[in-house]
Amino acid sequence: MAAAQPKYPAGATARRLARGCWSALWDYETPKVIVVRNRRLGVLYRAVQLLILLYFVWYVFIVQKSYQESETGPESSIITKVKGITTSEHKVWDVEEYVKPPEGGSVFSIITRVEATHSQTQGTCPESIRVHNATCLSDADCVAGELNMLGNGLRTGRCVPYYQGPSKTCEVFGWCPVEDGASVSQFLGTMAPNFTILIKNSIHYPKFHFSKGNIADRTDGYLKRCTFHEASDLYCPIFKLGFIVEKAGESFTELAHKGGVIGVIINWDCDLDLPASECNPKYSFRRLDPKHVPASSGYNFRFAKYYKINGTTTRTLIKAYGIRIDVIVHGQAGKFSLIPTIINLATALTSVGVGSFLCDWILLTFMNKNKVYSHKKFDKMVDTPASEPAQASTPTDPKGLAQL
């Protein structure tokens, strides 16, 4: 017959639980070193340590340069200047006419094709047939005084013949004739690939008090005879328009007819632990507008030139297609600093312990003699009073831990 188990009063059980919870607050834990002679586990442990060290040495310190203090987004100034002339039917175009705006900022447009509507004056004329609800059969189809925000003027209430063909549209009061009725197209792109663009850029990293520009410091007229070459003329930022379009992977003829936006990206990645001569600009070019989306590809804008004929205000409306250049400056500078170096070294040394954690988990979970390892790894020492004899225990090796 089995011996009866002793029963403890409810209060005693609660006190034992309370003592167990409180003891966790003042218990001290210290690592215990156990040598497990298992070749596969040892190889895994060293392999994990090696991978962690390689990650920190190669990627964190060499690739990412995490021992440096860094600054992104340099202060930057950009000045541009375009030179060249081109021709269209019966006209020569110079820089003052085909570059908009003329101030020479980081964003500018070079006109390559125009649709001009000459001699517009304030008066009445047929509305454009492309305007919604502009076509009509009689005056009853046109509401006098109606103003269409997408149209060209105020409707007079009359239905009149269109500029050409048998169609009729509602008459409007505004700048006449409207654009569709009398526009003349002119192509300026014949000589445009040879236009030269000077892009003057200077940057400053305030944290490191470092400044540099992209133009060579020479006084021998170097800029008057050079064009950009990545290997031989890096500090001659004079680019041909055809070169920019080609590097962006575009067809110049197609771009000149429909228009588009090209980004000139200047990247200043500087390791300031090296001499200043090692901090050089890197140029890249790509198209910024989505050319594969017909609704939003291309680039055009309108402007007008006003003059008077016999006291009457007259204008020429120009719809211009062109290549817009956006100069964008990026960069990052880094320099050795003790604080990030110490932080990353400490992280690396701490991460090496992941190998021990992984091997312990394998031992306690998957090895055949995991209970033996658990018995050896976790010991509980009780601090006995001096009056009581200490019970010395000699660790044993039940069933042989060395055989794991």
**Annotation: binding site for ATP:** 81-83, 196, 300-302, 319
**How many residues are given for the chain?**
404
User: What is the rounded CA–CA span in Å between residue 74 and residue 210?
Assistant: 10
Q: Tell me the C-alpha distance between 73 and 82, whole Å.
A: 27
Report the candidate in 191, 194, 184 with the shortest Cα–Cα distance to residue 114.
184
Please state the residue numbers annotated as binding site: 81-83, 196, 300-302, 319
